[in-house]
Amino acid sequence: MAKRRPTLTYLAVGWLLVVPIWMLWGVATYGGLYRWLCEWQLSTTGEYAAFGTFIVPTMLLIAPAILFLRTRVDAQPAAPPKPLDPVVAERLLVRVLGAVALGGAIVCAGAWLWALHYPDRSGPSIDVDIATLADAAPPLGRVTLIGAIDADHVVRKSIDAKGIGGWDLYAPIIVPGTAHRPARIFVEQYADDPVTQPLPSDGGRRFKGVLVEGGLPGDMQRQLARLGVAIANPYYLLLTGPDGARKNYYVAAGLGGFVALIGLLPLAVLLLAKAGRRRPS
């Protein structure tokens, strides 16, 4: 029995590492348990909570391993703590905090600068009439699409990680006379309140944003397929948010800046305290 306990401990630690990675893989690829839970919600409510569908199952799955490791720690006899030189400990803490702050700052600056290579929604745009576009490739970048939304095939994803909630809405644009063809151009919008029409800006039949090739999330493609919408190859997505094609890079920059702040604030306090101790009394 004594030989099995270390093995179980290793398995529990491995479970703690594998489960979050597996769930993140499901989010990125819309697969595995994450996909099953999403599609169950879609079949019952017509939408799903992206953040909750990731975090709740992850916490439930790793909870048994955490409880097991907790019992293993409590069962171990308390070992006398080894004395650690305060100067060495302070130097180690400064290095760790400095590395965290520097790494976060590099990610933040790199993502921000890279985002500037892509257009946002502001600025002049090209009018593109879907009815006269036919099979020609639409111009990428800032455009204003003129057309009608397919109101029967609007899909949405609940966004609950922002604290206030909302929905990402995706819909194909109807091309007159091509109802039997795969959908080629889609519009994406964010709404923070329930909408009573296909998209918040659908009243004017004009949709301004940044047109990119591809870009539909895998889960949205699954939803459209469930509604019987075939997607052309290639297809195009109009990003109507103010950040346009920069959105994902801005998100990465924000996360990097947050990590940098986590390391920088305690590092500044530690260095100020150290400088204060060096001043002659």
Beta carbons within 8 Å of 250's beta carbon, 6+ residues apart: 111, 112, 115, 243
d(CA 248, CA 117): 13
Which parts of the chain fold into alpha helices (H)?
Answer: 4-29, 32-45, 50-75, 86-115, 130-133, 218-226, 247-278
pLDDT number for residue 112: 92
126-242 fold: OB fold (Dihydrolipoamide Acetyltransferase, E2P) (2.40.50)
Select the highest-mean-pLDDT range: 44-48, 200-204, 208-212, 225-229.
208-212
Q: Which tokens go with 143?
A: 């455009």
pLDDT digits (tens, 9 = 90+) for 245-270: 888 788 788 878 888 888 888 888 87
**Domain locations in the chain as residue ranges:** 1-82, 126-242
pLDDT number for residue 3: 47
Count of alpha carbons within 13 angstroms of residue 44, beta-carbon side: 8
pLDDT number for residue 267: 82
- φ, ψ for residue 113 (rounded to 5)? -65, -35
pLDDT confidence tier of residue 1, bands split at 50, 70 and 90: very low
Tell how strand 167-174 and strand 155-158 pair up: antiparallel
pLDDT digits (tens, 9 = 90+) for 67-114: 887 777 666 565 566 666 777 777 777 888 888 889 889 989 998 999
Contact 93, 176 (CB under 8 A): no
pLDDT number for residue 180: 72
d(CA 252, CA 109): 10
pLDDT digits (tens, 9 = 90+) for 8-25: 778 888 888 888 888 877
Instruction: With a cut of 60, say whether residue 227 has pLDDT above it.
Output: yes
Beta carbons within 8 Å of 241's beta carbon, 6+ residues apart: 121, 188, 189, 190, 209, 247
* Among 12, 260, 236, residue whose Cα is nearest residue 112: 260
CA angle 152, 157, 158 (to 5 degrees): 125
pLDDT digits (tens, 9 = 90+) for 137-161: 889 999 998 888 887 888 877 665 4
Mean pLDDT score of the chain = 79
**In this structure, how many other beta carbons lie within 10 angstroms of the beta carbon of residue 156?**
20
pLDDT confidence tier of residue 196, bands split at 50, 70 and 90: low
Mean pLDDT of all residues in 111-122: 89
Characterise 163 by phi-psi region: left (phi > 0), alpha (psi -120 to 50), beta (else). Answer: left
* Among 175, 185, 250, 249, residue whose Cα is nearest residue 211: 185
